[in-house]
C-alpha cells in the first residue's frame, strides 16, 4: 500500500514540476519577420520583400526574397548588413512604411539597387543585387 501511495505521489510531483515546453524558434529554427506586403519593381519583372531572420538577436541577418513574375521562380539572396543586430523600427502597413526599395539600373539589365529605409534600422544601406548570379554586394 505504501508503494502505491509513493508511486502516485511521485507521479503528481513529476507532472506539476516538469519543465514547460521550450520555444525552439529563434535559436534552433529560424524566426523570420517579413513585411505584411510584397512590393514590385518599377519595371514589373520581380516581386520582392525583405526578410529579417532572428531579429533582435546577436546573429540576426537579412535576406531579399525575390519572385520572378514571368517564371514564378522564387529566390532568397543573403544581405550582409554592417550591423549584425537588426532592429525593426515602428511603422504601419503599406508601401510608405517599406523596409526597402529595389530599383533597376539602366545597364546591365540584371543589376538592381536595393536601398533600406529608416523603418528597418537607423543606418540606411545600399546593395547591388545581381539577378543573374543571385548575389548581393554592399555599396555603402
**Strands 111-116, 126-130: parallel, antiparallel or unpaired by DSSP?**
antiparallel
| Parent domain of 53 | 24-138
The DSSP annotation for 19-82 comes to: PPPP--BTTTB--EEE-SS-EE-TTSSEEEEEEEESTTSTT-EEEEEEEETTT--EEEEEE--S
Note whether residue 95 is domain-resident: yes
Note whether residue 130 is domain-resident: yes
pLDDT for 93-110, tens place per residue? 556 678 888 998 877 778
pLDDT for 6-21, tens place per residue? 999 888 887 777 766 6
pLDDT higher at 78 or 31: 78
Note whether residue 128 is domain-resident: yes
Residue 40's pLDDT is what?
92
pLDDT higher at 122 or 49: 49
Residue 2's pLDDT is what?
87
Note whether residue 87 is domain-resident: yes
Confidence label for 33 from pLDDT (cuts 50, 70 and 90): confident
Amino acid at each position: 500500500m505504501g508503494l502505491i501511495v509513493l508511486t502516485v505521489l511521485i507521479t503528481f510531483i513529476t507532472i506539476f514540476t516538469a519543465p514547460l515546453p521550450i520555444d525552439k524558434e529563434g535559436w534552433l529554427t529560424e524566426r523570420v519577420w517579413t513585411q505584411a506586403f510584397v512590393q514590385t519593381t518599377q519595371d514589373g519583372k520581380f516581386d520582392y520583400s525583405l526578410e529579417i531572420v532572428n531579429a533582435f538577436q546577436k546573429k540576426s541577418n537579412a535576406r531579399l526574397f525575390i519572385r520572378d513574375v514571368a517564371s514564378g521562380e522564387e529566390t532568397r539572396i543573403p544581405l550582409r548588413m554592417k550591423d549584425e543586430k537588426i532592429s525593426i523600427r515602428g511603422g504601419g502597413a503599406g508601401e510608405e512604411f517599406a523596409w526597402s526599395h529595389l530599383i533597376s539600373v539602366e545597364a546591365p539589365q540584371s543589376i538592381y539597387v536595393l536601398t533600406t529605409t529608416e523603418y528597418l534600422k537607423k543606418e540606411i544601406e545600399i546593395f547591388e543585387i545581381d539577378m543573374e548570379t543571385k548575389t548581393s554586394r554592399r555599396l555603402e
